[in-house]
Structure 1
């Protein structure tokens, strides 16, 4: 049977925006976000302070009302807190309550953290560590796969922000920098404005606001039928407030809906693989094995094979004995032999994955999940 078309009629309702406010230090970015928390048109505002340190101070402004999200500074904890606010906002939206607001000050710090993580990993590669041992000032070559890891983490956060079932306000640093030629050399007398963050940050936001000291606030871009920005000329807004921008100029209301934008994925294994990686015991892996079977999960045969192999690898990692700190380090020859053995074992696992998945019930019929051979 051919697949059936899945469609719906457009609602015409204005979606909640992802607002980017960038600009110079001291231009009023944080002030405007704190001021927005006093709006009677919004629900709870949650504030994530990333290396700026001003969240507590701005709560002294009259009428401000927001909760500061606590985190330990790690990417994992920050991402989990963003996800937690996401589900809180979804609950409020489903109940028809005023929109929850998430403010992040600043996403420039988040991207800086990811680039620093990438540089640190690059310095630990065999090639770079050898070069740095000979010359501490040697250039560090950053492999593309390390940048891809950083971008994946950035995109993971941005998907929550772009589909947030409420209003998101992200603050970023902006500055004027020298233009450069194709070789990266500065061009004398030519300047351009730079937003500190991932290159797609402005593109991903639905409205882009710029603040500079001593100048009117400018809207550089807005994705709206009710508000237009002249071509190649930012729209100046005197007496700017986020409340006026979102509810009056863009036309949002309590009836606004989250942006319907499912995350693109080449297959459906990603959430399953995340659960497998987070599993800390055999019982959890047993439940995942049963749940991931194509008959239960709706995964395709190939997708089920991928999850089955991941479960086996995770089981092996949980059950293999840990080396003691006093153990002698492996020699280069031992490392090569171990790598070759692992490649052979992985190849065998992939060949046996389909058969293993079909025998899942029998494999797990005992008291423990199947062990690695």
Structure 2
């Protein structure tokens, strides 16, 4: 077997950025403001469990289309796959998914409903624990969602909620210390190219960034943050199509298992 190789292009690709913020910290506003950037053309906004961003259309320069869907996880995945298949335009299309917190909640809610339905068929009532096979199914659905997002040929902005949690000591007991935690599927911060935290309105911290242009020693505050400003800092004038080496997906042989 002859292996196939290629040389690196040395050019950055449009990043997938996760904007994780406290309530009313400005996550959605920042996404709407990004749609005014001269670097991009069209913006497609997929709203999940959040108030549709109609009012943000009044922001000077903001220009986005709200993508309608049927409100199911499968329907949202289908929309994301369809967006990824759109032909490239003169300027890249920005994809906004608001919010990934609610999307993961929907996945887990579906798993809970399936667990309860299984128990009811077996003569047991009440809320049941989610079994490992169902968690695997949910994780598989989430992988499909992330793959569809990564397949988009352009910049991506994802939002999530940032919530304070109690830090536990080495004995598993709660301490008075609070830490900020991103409320979503736990692997998402690793799957994106950058994590921007907004613990309060007007304060923005870049907690992680995949870039050879902007080198960070640790979480770094970004005064007067805008997405367009970050794009400029990353040198995205000649950004290329994002390449992701995805493993081949396992085949689901139990599609009709549980309703």
Return the TM-score normalized by structure 1: 0.64
CA–CA distance in structure 2, aligned partners of residues 186 and 23 of structure 1: 27
Alignment partner of 2:137 out of 146, 149, 171: 149
Q: Which has the larger radius of gyration?
A: 1
Cα offset, 1:101, TM superposition: 0.6
Is there any run of 5+ residues in structure 1 with no aligned partner, and where? 278-313, 315-373
**Equivalent-residue separation in structure 2 for 1:142 and 1:82 (angstroms):** 27
Residue in structure 1 matched with residue 192 of structure 2 by the alignment: 205
Sort the Cα spacing of 1:107 and 1:221 in 2 relative to 1 into closer, same or farther, 3 A.
same
- 5+ residue gaps, structure 2, are none
Is the contact between residue 101 and residue 167 of structure 1 (CA under 8 Å) also seen in structure 2?
A: yes
Structure 1 position 126, deviation (Å) = 3.5
For residue 117 of structure 1, give the secondary structure of its aligned residue in structure 2: helix
Return the structure number with greater relative CO, CA threshold 8 A, min gap 6: 2
Out of 44, 47, 59, which is 1:46 matched to? 44
Q: Does 1:57 align with 2:49?
A: no
- How big is each residue's C-alpha offset from its partner over 1:301-342, in whole Å with a ceiling of 9 and x where there is no partner? xxxxxxxxxxxxx9xxxxxxxxxxxxxxxxxxxxxxxxxxxx
Pick from 199, 217, 220 the counterpart of residue 207 of structure 2.
220
Of the three residues 255, 260, 264, the one matched with 2:243 is 260
Distance 1:214 1:18 in 2: 22
Whole-angstrom CA distance in 2 between matches of 1:224 and 1:194: 23
Correspondences of 1:351-370 after superposition (within 5 Å): none
| Contact 1:122 1:128 (C-alpha < 8 Å) held by counterparts | no
Which 4+ stretches in 1 moved above 3 angstroms?
Answer: 126-131, 180-183
The alignment covers a number of residue pairs equal to: 255
- Aligned equivalent of 2:234: 250
Shift of 1:149: 0.7
Q: Separation in 2 of the partners of 1:87 and 1:173?
A: 29
Helix, strand or coil for the counterpart of 1:59? helix
Instruction: Tell me which residue corresponds to 1:104.
Output: 97
Deviation at 1:216, TM superposition (A): 2.3
Say what the alpha-carbon RMSD is for the aligned residues: 2.3
The CA deviation string for residues 178-214 of structure 1, in whole angstroms up to 9 with x for no partner, is 124689x650313222111100011111011001225
- Cα displacement string for residues 94-152 of structure 1 (whole angstroms, at most 9, x for unaligned residues): x5x211110011011100000111111111224896443xxx4xx62221010111111
For normalisation by structure 2, the TM-score amounts to: 0.91
Which structure has greater helix proportion? 1
Rounded to whole Å, the distance in 2 between the matches of 1:215 and 1:43 is: 27
Q: CA deviation at 1:263?
A: 2.5
Bigger fraction of residues in strand: 2
Give, in whole Å, the separation in 2 of the partners of 1:157 and 1:181. 35
Aligned-partner SS, 1:194 = strand
Q: 1: distance between equivalents of 2:168 and 2:188? A: 21
- Residue 220 of structure 2 corresponds to residue 235 of structure 1: yes
**Counterpart in the other structure of 1:34:** 32
Alpha-carbon distance in 1 for matches of 2:78, 2:130: 28
